[in-house]
Amino acid sequence: MAAVRALVAPRLAAASAFAPLHAPAPRAALHSSAPRPRARVALVLSGCGVYDGTELHEASAVLVHLSRGGAEVQIFAPDVPQMHVIDHTKGQPSESETRNVLTESARIARGKITDLARLSAADHDAAIFPGGFGAAKNLLCCIAPVLAAKVLRGVEVTVGHEQEEGGKWPYAGTAEAIKALGAKHRVKGVTEAHVDQKNKVVTTPAFMCETALHHIHDGIGAMVKKVLELCGK
């Protein structure tokens, strides 16, 4: 289960707390030679591996599209023990192992990572949370779009379709959980992203859909593009 969610100023999240952020700097005048400022984006990871941490393909796709969009990225993860460790060859807990979320997330970040406790809303224009069960197990006990639904009442998010459609959308029931929290679910295809303009939250289904990897990649690209547009960069 995975989906990607992004928060844009002034709805940037630091852990479970939302903090206001300064408005994006005005764009340079048409005849000015000043370069356009780069969007400053925090990428929040929850480990390394879909069953007990961050979904690696989603995190990688986010980084690729942010790089293409010229964003300045800083990667964060909480310095806490993982809820448990899953043997990804079996899909079962490995009882003899313990791992640290920050240490595991550093694998994806190639070592360039910061403790989530040091994330300051004033330093970033947006935050992106890739999916993976680690978002539920190691962050706020819910997958990325549900995290937004729990924190922002009435927020609009998408996890894709609301019916399983023969197994194409195996986690379609998540839409009902989102509605039960008082949020609004918007049906979107896997290559699409939904923008909640009021709350400045952008979501895309990603691996909530059983489909080819390039479709997941394209949907994340659509989300990142919307995020950068909302940042005014």
Q: Which residues are tagged catalytic?
A: 142
Other beta carbons less than 10 A from residue 10's beta carbon: 14
User: What is the radius of gyration, based on Cα positions, of the chain?
Assistant: 17
- The position carrying tokens 């909302």 is 230
Please give the helix or strand (H or E) that residue 179 lies within, else none.
helix 174-180
Q: Cis omega (within 30 of 0) on the bond before 26?
A: no
Please give the helix or strand (H or E) that residue 115 lies within, else none.
strand 114-115
Please give the helix or strand (H or E) that residue 42 lies within, else none.
strand 40-44
101-108 helix and 56-68 helix, angle to the nearest 10 degrees = 50
Burial of 31 (0-12, 13-18, 19+ CB in 10 A): exposed
Contact residues for 30 (Cβ-Cβ < 8 A; gap 6+):
none
Q: Facing residues of 42 across strands?
A: 74, 127
Give the Cα separation of 83 and 24 in Å (integer).
37
